[in-house]
Amino acid sequence: MPSTSVAYVVDQLAADIQGGKLAPGTALPTHRQLAAIHGMAIASASKVYAQLKAMGMVVGETGRGTFVRDRPAQREWDSSDEARLNANTTDLSFNHPTWPGQADLLRTMLRNLAASGDLATLMRQQPPGGRRHERQIVADFLTSQRGIDADERHVFLVNGAQQGLDIVARALLEPHDKVAVDALTYPGFRMLAEHLRLHLQPIPGHPDGPDLNALENICRQHRIRAIYTMPTLQNPLGWVLSTEQRQRLVGIARQHDCLLIEDASYAFLVDPAPPALATLAPERTVYVSSLSKSLASGLRFGFVVAPDACAGRIKSAIRASYWSMPSLLTAMATRWIADGTVARQEAMLRQDAFDRQAIAREVLAGMDIITHPASMFLWMNLPEDLRMDRIATALARRGIAVSKAQAYATTRHAPHALRLGLSSLPTAQLRSVLMQVRDTIDRFPI
């Protein structure tokens, strides 16, 4: 057979992967087999796989071989966005923890589960909110890791923090209720409010947190049913409220009888952190978090801790919606919590986020950045004359996906800014990708 060039084989395999002919997870020929198929040297076959790996299309697993990588397009739902992800896009728009041991962790867990006794219980429906011993594991975890005195009866297992927020809003709020939120807030809550016809009242922000005087005025002028807040590592601005700010927030909520919806999705990154609102005001705080940012976003494992007075309504909202979590999944997640995997992973990611922030600070020095040294993301205000959509498009052309400020804005006008997630790509690539971001902005519109 005539020998074929490395580039030709790379193109052919890349086309088969992109075109769907080779499905995610497909085992590819060994280096030796690939070399034989194409009449090339084994070293050339290795180069083929190295290039496909660099393009993000395949993964090599030691001792097992090379597989087509599954990289779902995160933006599939948003067809208007030019930053749609494909296999070659660098994703700065999301934070998905990806770390080398993930596949092995799952493999070991599946093996252990397969070998465990009474496996048939995982084929049975769980009670709404989860099985008691699994809720207890989450409660103990929250007590030891987050300082929250959680009781198993008040813990509910949900498919990720987003569903937790949805269940809380369905259970405890009604259409047209007014909810105070940061002027720039987590887009998932904004979308949820739109679907449930909640009215968002934006709280103007200071660099270090929401303007609490403004919040007080809002509460005086409107009947605010709930305050949605991320006191530890606010998404997108990265602020961490001090104990004093938290106490004042709780004081306002008590005075105006508002529910506090505390979203702690990124809270694990700050250690030690000031007390959770769920600790300061357990009687009116619903605490929502997940393992999406620490262990795996595809696991869809989250939890809600609710005050006693709200627990019944949350349970019935769960019963009316998804009924219960998949038993197999909660078994895996709670075992990872109980055996210390999650705590270890969180500690590792704290260091990782810190290292990535240091790189970002260095590369983006002099630019208008708002962030926190422990955060997995940063907020970049663009120079006066630059529009966020044009910069996002220019970056998309260079294969870099970012989030635009308008997704976070609850006010009519969004600032021209971008949010960059720093954690979805290997640390080794971060510097060069951020340099490309900087270069694109510095030289725009060239």
Ligand X SMILES: Cc1ncc(COP(=O)(O)O)c(C=O)c1O
The closest alpha carbon to 16, from 50, 44, 58, belongs to 58
Say which amino acid occupies 89: T
Q: How far is the CB of 294 from ligand X (least distance, A)?
A: 10
Residue 18: exposure state from Cβ atoms within 10 A (0-12, 13-18, ≥19): middle
Contact at 8 Å (CB) between 401 and 89? yes
CB neighbour list of residue 217: distance below 8 Å, 6 or more residues apart: none
Number of residues that bind ligand X (CB under 6 A): 13
236 near ligand X, judged by CB under 6 A: no
When binding is defined by CB under 6 A, the residue of 90, 93, 136, 235 that contacts ligand X is 235
Q: How far is the CB of 292 from ligand X (least distance, A)?
A: 3
- Give min distance, CB of 87 to ligand X, in A: 22
Instruction: Answer yes or no whether residue 182 interacts with ligand X by CB under 6 A.
Output: no
With CB atoms as reference, the residue minimizing the distance to ligand X is 160
Taking a C-beta distance cutoff of 8 angstroms, is the pair 225, 364 a contact?
no
Nearest distance, CB of residue 297 and ligand X, angstroms:
5
SS (H, E, C) 70-93: CCCCCCCCCCCCCCCCCCCCEECC
Closest CA to 440 of 374, 364, 378: 364
371 touches ligand X by CB under 6 A: no
Is residue 66 at the binding interface for ligand X, with CB under 6 A as the rule?
no
CB 214 within 8 A of CB 357: no
Query: Are 238 and 265 a contacting pair, CB within 8 Å?
Result: no
Residue 193 is a binding residue for ligand X (CB under 6 A): no
Binding mask 256-275 for ligand X (x = CB under 6 A): -------x-x----------
Q: Is 239 in the site for ligand X (CB under 6 A)?
A: no
- Restricted to residues 101-160, the positions that interact with ligand X (CB under 6 A) are 160
Answer for which of 128, 210, 238, 302 binds ligand X (CB under 6 A) is: 302
Smaller CB distance to ligand X: residue 28 or 267? 267
Q: Is 210 in the site for ligand X (CB under 6 A)?
A: no
- 97, 129, 130, 188: which one contacts ligand X (CB under 6 A)? 188
CA-to-CA distance for 115 and 280, rounded, in angstroms? 43
Rank residues 89 and 162 by Cβ distance to ligand X and give the closer one.
162
Residue whose CB is less far from ligand X, 210 or 302: 302
Of 2-10, 275-283, 290-298, 332-340, the window that binds ligand X (rule: CB under 6 A) is 290-298
Task: Give strand pairing partners of 262.
Answer: 229, 287
We find the least distance from the C-beta atom of residue 263 to ligand X, in angstroms, to be 5
**Which secondary structure element, helix H or strand E, spans residue 210, and what is its range?**
strand 209-210
β-partners of residue 401 are 91
Judged by CB under 6 A, does residue 162 bind ligand X? yes
Nearer to ligand X, 290 or 345 (CB): 290
- Asked if 166 interacts with ligand X (CB under 6 A), we say no
- Tell me the C-alpha distance between 419 and 405, whole Å: 7
Q: Smallest distance, Å, CB 166 to ligand X?
A: 9
346 binds ligand X (CB under 6 A): no
Q: Is 292 in the site for ligand X (CB under 6 A)?
A: yes
- Tell me which amino acid residue 392 is: A
299 or 331: CB nearest ligand X: 299
User: Residue 14 Cβ, how far from ligand X at the closest point, in Å?
Assistant: 30
424 binds ligand X (CB under 6 A): no
Q: Which stretch binds ligand X (CB under 6 A): 16-24, 202-210, 289-297, 322-330?
A: 289-297
Q: Pick one of 136, 201, 290, 341: the residue that binds ligand X (CB under 6 A).
A: 290
Min separation Cβ 372 and ligand X, Å: 14
Q: How far apart are CA 348 and CA 97, in angstroms?
A: 11
Kindly state whether residue 74 participates in binding ligand X, applying the rule CB under 6 A.
no
Does 230 help bind ligand X (rule: CB under 6 A)? yes
- Would you state the structure tokens that stand for residue 269, as one six-digit string? 């990154």
Binder of ligand X out of 141, 156, 186, 287 (CB under 6 A):
186
Q: What is the DSSP string of 218-270?
A: HHHHS-EEEEEE--BS-TTT--B--HHHHHHHHHHHHHTT-EEEEE-TTGGGS
The contacts of residue 56 (CB under 8 Å, 6+ apart) are 69, 71, 87, 88
Q: How many CB atoms lie within 10 A of CB 334?
A: 22
The whole-angstrom separation of Cα 346 and Cα 340 is 10
Provide the 10 A C-beta neighbour count for residue 58. 24
Residues forming contacts to ligand X in the complex (CB under 6 A) are: 160-162, 186, 188, 230, 235, 263, 265, 290, 292, 297, 302
